[in-house]
Amino acid sequence: MTNSTRFYLINLLGCFAFLSIPVFSSPDFGLGWQMIYINPFQKSFVRFVLLLLLFYTSYYYFIPKLYFNQKKWFFGLALIVSYLTLIGITNAIFGTHQFIPKPNSNHNFPQPREHSELFDAQFLIPFLLVVALAFLIKITNRLNEINDEKRTAEVSYLKAQINPHFLFNTLNSLYALTLQKSDEAPNAVLKLSGIMRYVVTESNQEYVTLDKELNYIKDYIALQKLRLDQNVSLIFKVEGEPFGKAIVPLILIPFIENAFKYGINPDTESYIHIYILIENQTLKMSVKNPKAATEVDEALKTEEGLKNTQRRLDLMYAGKYTLTVLEDEKTYDVTLKIDLL
């Protein structure tokens, strides 16, 4: 059985089981088929049909489009409007069944009226249960989707960060430093070791502390700087307090890596400007570079990595980030703003 067949079968059985509730719970169940002609049963059954429509509307629209996109006020308003609409529809079709005094009744005594259906527990409780069930299933599926995407992204990042090109370039730079007997060689080895350790051990975490992520970026840039010529203007600046904040690991580095791959040309003056500003619980990163590299090896291209990064942003920071890319024939300018935990 294919996944799509299983999906439709489960939904079909679920709908059948849900619509059987007003049938088996009806006080007129013993009447058999005659029950379908009784007004209260008709009203109850139609309400369950409408609740079933509400379940799928909540699952596919209200929850993902409103609640997950930080439009919780609209989400609550949509539920209230839905509740009033369902009650209004059934009352319009079947009536409210209010008590009507008989002509010969004694008007000296107050006549009882039926309770208001606006907060009828027989409808309000199923309504809340349907919304809660849709919410629970959607949250569970979303978490599973995030975990699947995260595992896929981890493999991609491991391949991207610990790749032969980066290692070979760094090792060549280290070899040159050792020939010169430079004091920078031991420090560069430590930075490379720290980068590899961070990618292997921290990338499988859902969140890491922001200071660790920034230290990783600093080490990465320091190693890249070893191979830069004097005609490259490199600025890396961090402002703000990173401690006590968390971020998804390796979510910033693809944009920085992209700048080093496309922004450097040994034949022309190049620049890479990276600014990170931390204000309260907001991080803003700006990466600017020219399109200096005329030819890039296929193995170094990062379009797929950037697509994976944006997918991770959509999953982990839905409604909590903005990404702006300004690009023309000569320059590439990326601005990323994230609401941190």
Which of 144, 132, 124, 4 is CA-nearest to residue 58?
Answer: 132
For the cut 80, the answer to whether the pLDDT of residue 147 exceeds it is no
Residue 78 and residue 189 in one domain:
no
User: What's at 118, amino acid-wise?
Assistant: L
Contacts of 301 (CB under 8 A, 6+ apart): 261
Q: Within a domain: residue 102?
A: no
Model pLDDT, residue 157: 54
Q: Residue-wise over 193-229: b if at least 16 C-beta within 10 A, else e?
A: ebbeebbeebbeeebbbbebbbbbbebbbbbbebebe
| Long-range residue pairs from 73-78, CB within 8 A, at least 24 positions apart, any chain | none
- Sorted by sequence, the CB contacts under 8 Å of residue 300 that are 6+ apart come out as 165, 261
Q: Are residues 130 and 261 in the same domain?
A: no
Identify whether 155 is part of a domain: no
Determine the structural domain holding residue 42 and report its residue range. 3-96+117-143
Provide CB contacts within 8 A for 257, sequence distance 6+.
160, 220, 302, 305
Distance between CA 244 and CA 230 in Å, rounded? 37
Compute the distance between CA of residue 58 and CA of residue 130 in angstroms, rounded to an integer: 9
- Same-domain check for residues 139 and 224: no
Is the domain of 69 the same as that of 127? yes
Looking at the structure, tell me whether residues 55 and 121 fall in a common domain.
yes
Average the pLDDT over 17-24 and give the result: 84
Does pLDDT of 102 surpass 50? no
246, 328: one domain = yes
CA distance 164 to 167: 5
| Cα→Cα distances 162→7, 37, 150, 284, Å | 39, 71, 18, 26
- Are 293 and 186 found together in one domain? yes
* CB-neighbour burial class of residue 188 (10 A; exposed 0-12, middle 13-18, buried 19+): buried
According to DSSP H, which parts of the chain are helical? 3-19, 21-24, 39-57, 72-94, 121-161, 164-179, 184-202, 210-225, 253-262, 303-316
pLDDT-derived band at 99, boundaries 50, 70, 90: very low
CA atoms within a 13 Å half-sphere pointing along the CA-CB vector of 327: 8
pLDDT digits over 293-339, tens only? 555 554 445 556 677 788 778 878 888 999 999 988 888 999 999 99
Q: Is 111 part of a structural domain of the chain?
A: no
* Residue linked to tokens 């619980």: 281
Mean pLDDT calculated for residue range 253-264: 85
CB 336 within 8 A of CB 321: yes
Of 127, 107, 130, the residue nearest 119 (C-alpha):
127
Report d(CA 177, CA 223) in Å as an integer.
12
**Do residues 274 and 227 share a domain?**
yes
In terms of domains, do 176 and 309 share one?
yes
CATH code of the domain covering residue 270: 3.30.565.10
pLDDT at residue 339 in the model: 93
Which stretch of 155-159, 180-184, 336-340 has the lowest confidence by average pLDDT? 155-159
CA distance 241 to 251: 19
CB 324 within 8 A of CB 335: yes
Question: pLDDT by residue (tens digit) across 202-248?
Answer: 777 888 999 999 999 998 898 888 877 777 889 999 999 999 999 98
**What is the pTM (predicted TM-score) of this model?**
0.55
Looking at the fold, whether 174 and 317 belong to one and the same domain comes out as: yes
Which has the higher per-residue pLDDT, 175 or 61? 61
